[in-house]
Structure 1
Amino acid sequence: MNVLLIAGGWSDEREVSLSGARMIHAALERLGHQVSFFDPALDFANLLRVAREADFAFINLHGTPGEDGLIQAVLDKACCPYQGAGAAASYLALNKAASKEVFESAGIPTPDWQFVTRVQGPDTPPTLPLPVFVKPNKGGSSLGMSLVRTSGEFPAALNTVFSLCQSALVERFIPGVELTCAVLDHRPLPLIMITPKGDAAFFDYHNKYAEDGAEEICPAPVPDEVTRNVQSLMVKAHKALGLTGYSRGDFILSADGTPYLLEINTLPGMTPTSLLPRAAAQAGLAFEDLITELIRLGLEERGR
């Protein structure tokens, strides 16, 4: 097939996107596909045209555009199939406050939260007991995220977020073990336990992408009951958001054994250190097999 590989973009996660794209590009060629690379940051005006000429688009964008549904909406106009969630579901998942509303309505545990906009300003007081996490309401890779332990740190944390976007999500800090669970075609993959190395207070940008940034154990060394519970919640959240193809969710397992869903990523990372390829490998899917399955699911969902 003629595959349009879309990566790069203009978000702060551009370099992560390009890193994963190199791995995907090589895999697609090994599978016998003809690959054309497209970077929306350099040639957005031609996306509709080139998409109409492709048999399939493989999206490897993070943040905006990509996870916000914009690229998917253009591809839909071009009648070009692609992997993963559609435009509306992508936008809903990227907006942390909106997705938390969906989680709560579906009975999925998620930490208590507060939504703060730039209109309200950095002097807005916290409504949750400290400590709290303050993070951009839309975005990933832990960019702009702060752990606030005192009320005096709250305005600076909000200003950090407002330098990146218009709204912040404030989330109650829950001590516990970080787990991640991916879904492929409504089937959960093995859990991964994540433990940041060094002095990091949480799984930050460095821990996520440095080769020695974190200890990631797959399958996660947790009781079978916990594994089944997290996997069940992940599939439930995937369906509640209207996602298709694949996704990956981040959880905190509290001391009392409750798994709290933090957020869902609709375009999980595909770098050599990324979590989805590792979980897929544990389930018996080599990287090329994973790419093939994502294309199959995309064609099944949106094939011409």
Structure 2
Amino acid sequence: MAVKRLAIVTGDHHAPDPTKLGHAYGAEDFAAHSAMVEAFSSLGRFEITVFNAHDGLLEKLLAARPDLVVNFCDTGLFNRPRFELHLPAFLEVHGIAYTGAPPQAMVTAFDKQAVRLIAEALGVEVPREAFLPGGMGEIPDIFPALLKPNQADGSVGITQHSVVRDAAEARAYLAFLAEILPGADVLWQEYLPGPEYGMGLIGNPETELCALPPLEVDFSRLPEGLNPILSFESKADPSSPYWTEIRFRRAEIEDEVRERLEGWAKRLFHRFGLRDYGRFDFRCAADGRPKLLETNPNPAWANDGKLAFMASFAGIAYPRMLEMIVEAAEARIGGGA
């Protein structure tokens, strides 16, 4: 399938977004969006239409019937995380090709406990964990622990205080989660104190699935006393040291560890039915063994996101990375997948 006319769909710049500070897009978000559009334009091979408002979006896509929808709507329709599957579901019903994960993959990956259970069944190491329905129940005997919502995007509900070391801290954080996310199920997860890695894949198992060099999160510049985690502040608050002091660098790890992470990532990519690209986050326990943190079926596409950093480690410029995602979809669709 030769792709010429692209429709690029992002989050809705005009609607409230719970993954943003103040629930609104900021200057950094608009800059990343502009950089992405410019990168696609620089390729010189596509006719591009950009949709960053969701009122009437589905009708407009149906009328335009582009060759391919680039689904960069990682916030969900109208910036509602639970609506992330709706756009690909609509496109499938109407026979419009699109990049990235199908609806079922998004549904499964959105449930963090389900991800853990499936990964464990595949032989992928995972943290010890307990599930608190509605954030209620007995305090598990897992300390230190990381407390987070079972279903949320953009690290919503994960702050610098998410790491708890005793029952008093845990109860205080559970009360905080109940206030900001009433009735939300909570994961009580073993806190992993070791290095944190990202593994990115571009392509598809049926054609070619390319593993990018792994990334390590550098927490070394965080002020003393701040827990070294990627919190909501690290993704949404430019005034926070979690934003200003955390860096991404190429992971310097032994070949055996890299091969294990790559193998796990490819196994998970296939099992969850991801397509065209995906990202997997791992963190090491005290004994140095990596364990799965997250499966990201529709990972951040921005030029300052993890996937772009990993591509740069392989000498892949940002425009080329975006082109590779489109080419992965082209090859998949051409093969009937």
TM-score (norm: length of structure 1): 0.88
Contact residue 114 and residue 128 of structure 1 kept, 8 A: no
Q: Name the % identity.
A: 22
Q: Deviations over 1:226-274 (max 9, x none)?
A: 1111111111111121211111111112342311011111222223321
- Equivalent runs, 1:236-255 vs 2, <5 Å: 236-255=267-286
* Alpha-carbon offset, residue 294 of structure 1: 0.7
Does 12-21 or 77-86 show the bigger shift?
Answer: 12-21
How many Å apart are 1:208 and its aligned residue? 4.4
Alpha-carbon separation, structure 1, partners of 2:176 and 2:95: 39
Partner of 1:104: 120
| 1:21–1:60 Cα contact (<8 Å) kept | no
Residues 103, 6 of structure 1: alpha-carbon distance in 2 compared, 3 angstrom cutoff:
same
Q: What is the aligned partner in structure 1 of residue 41 from structure 2?
A: 29
Shift of 1:213: 3.1
Show the 5 A alignment for 1:1-304. 1-9=4-12, 11-13=17-19, 15=25, 19-32=31-44, 33-39=46-52, 42-43=54-55, 45-53=56-64, 54-65=66-77, 68-118=84-134, 122-145=135-158, 146-162=162-178, 163-164=180-181, 166-185=184-203, 186-196=209-219, 197-199=221-223, 200-201=226-227, 202-208=229-235, 210=238, 212-218=244-250, 220-302=251-333
Task: Find the aligned partners of 1:284 and 1:51 in 2 and give their Cα distance.
Answer: 37
List structure 1 segments (4+ residues) > 4 angstroms apart after TM superposition.
Answer: 16-19, 208-211
User: Given residue 72 of structure 2, which amino acid in structure 1 is its aligned partner?
Assistant: N
DSSP 3-state at the match of 1:155: helix
User: Which structure 1 segments of 5+ residues have no match?
Assistant: none
Within 2, Cα distance between the matches of 1:101 and 1:244? Answer: 21
The CA deviation string for residues 100-124 of structure 1, in whole angstroms up to 9 with x for no partner, is 1110111110101122232xxx442
Q: Bigger shift: 194-203 or 63-72?
A: 63-72
SS at structure 1 position matched to 2:170 = helix
Over aligned residue pairs, what C-alpha RMSD do you find? Answer: 2.4
Partner SS, residue 195 of structure 2: strand
Task: For residue 176 of structure 1, give the secondary structure of its aligned residue in structure 2.
Answer: coil
Contact persistence 1:64–1:139 (CA under 8 A): no
Unaligned segments of structure 2, at least 5 residues: 204-208
Instruction: Give the drift of 1:74.
Output: 1.2
Task: Using the TM superposition, give the Cα deviation of residue 51 of structure 1 relative to its aligned residue in structure 2, in angstroms.
Answer: 4.2
Please state how far the C-alpha of 1:48 moved relative to its aligned partner.
4.2
TM-score normalised per structure 2: 0.80
Contact 1:85–1:243 (Cα < 8 Å) also in 2: yes
Cα distance in 2 between the residues matched to 1:271 and 1:59: 13
Secondary structure (helix, strand or coil) at the match of 1:12 reads coil
Moved more, 1-10 or 62-71: 62-71
- Asked whether the equivalents of residues 48 and 77 of structure 1 are also in contact (C-alpha less than 8 Å), the reply is no
Given that 2:19 and 2:155 are in contact with CA atoms closer than 8 Å, whether structure 1 keeps it comes out as no
Aligned residue type for 1:204: S
Aligned with 2:50: secondary structure?
strand
Distance 1:302 1:21, change over 3 A: farther
How big is the shift at 1:73? 0.7
1:164–1:170 Cα change, 3 Å: same
Change in 2 beyond 3 A, CA 1:46/1:252: closer
Paired residues of 2:69 and 2:97 also in contact (CA < 8 A) = yes
